[in-house]
Amino acid sequence: MSTHEITIALSFLHITLNSSSDLTTAVPGGFWPGSVPSNKTPPFGLYGYQSGFDTLTSNGVRLITQPLYQVRVSGPASIIDQVAAAAALTDDVLKRTVNTSVTGGLVAASYRESPVHIDEQIDGVPWVSIGGLYRLVLQQVPA
């Protein structure tokens, strides 16, 4: 039974973002898919699916999947320098990752397509998120 490509991407992001000692120091709240548990200390990281496409053979066999994920570091605007530094470390970790095996697949490449910057108010406090949109190039590996 094959593993769905989204599961491969989520596994890759979880392992990669939470296994760098420099990054876990810079982002004490950890990296989370979608939303962050309320007891986490900022800055923390978020990642989520944005879009993607498949590369197919002429007879419709899927060869490669290229999902696009938003990955960002968030925290109160009062610590914007810490958030920006953590976002730069995040970029360093993701852009250097190639040919990584995870359960059910292989991530051949990871690279940033564009930066992300979001300002928002959370409970009346200014917050900032800095990161990027990362393209993953991956494929299923038969079990």
What residues contact 41, with CB distance under 8 A and at least 6 apart? 28, 29
Cα angle 4-6-9, degrees, rounded to a multiple of 5: 115
* For the chain, counts of helices (H) and of strands (E): 3, 6
Provide CB contacts within 8 A for 96, sequence distance 6+: none
Residue 126 CA to residue 140 CA, distance in Å, equals 41
DSSP H/E element including 89: helix 80-95
Render 64-87 in DSSP notation, one character per residue: EEEEEEEEEEEEEGGGHHHHHHHH
- What's residue 143's pLDDT? 66
Domains of the chain, with CATH numbers? Answer: 5-140 (3.30.2000.10)
In the chain, the amino acid numbered 107 is V
pLDDT tens digits along 97-141: 788 888 889 999 999 999 999 999 999 999 999 999 999 999 988
Cα separation, 19 vs 59, whole angstroms: 39
Q: Could you tell me if 110 and 73 are in contact, meaning their C-beta atoms sit under 8 angstroms apart?
A: no
Instruction: Give the model's pLDDT for residue 60.
Output: 82
User: pTM, whole model, 2 decimals?
Assistant: 0.92
pLDDT in tens, 34-91: 899 989 999 999 999 999 998 888 888 888 999 999 999 999 999 999 999 999 999 9
Looking at the predicted structure, is the pLDDT value of residue 11 above 80? yes
Residues in the chain: 143
DSSP state of 63: E
Identify the CA nearest to 3 among candidates 137, 143, 99. Answer: 143
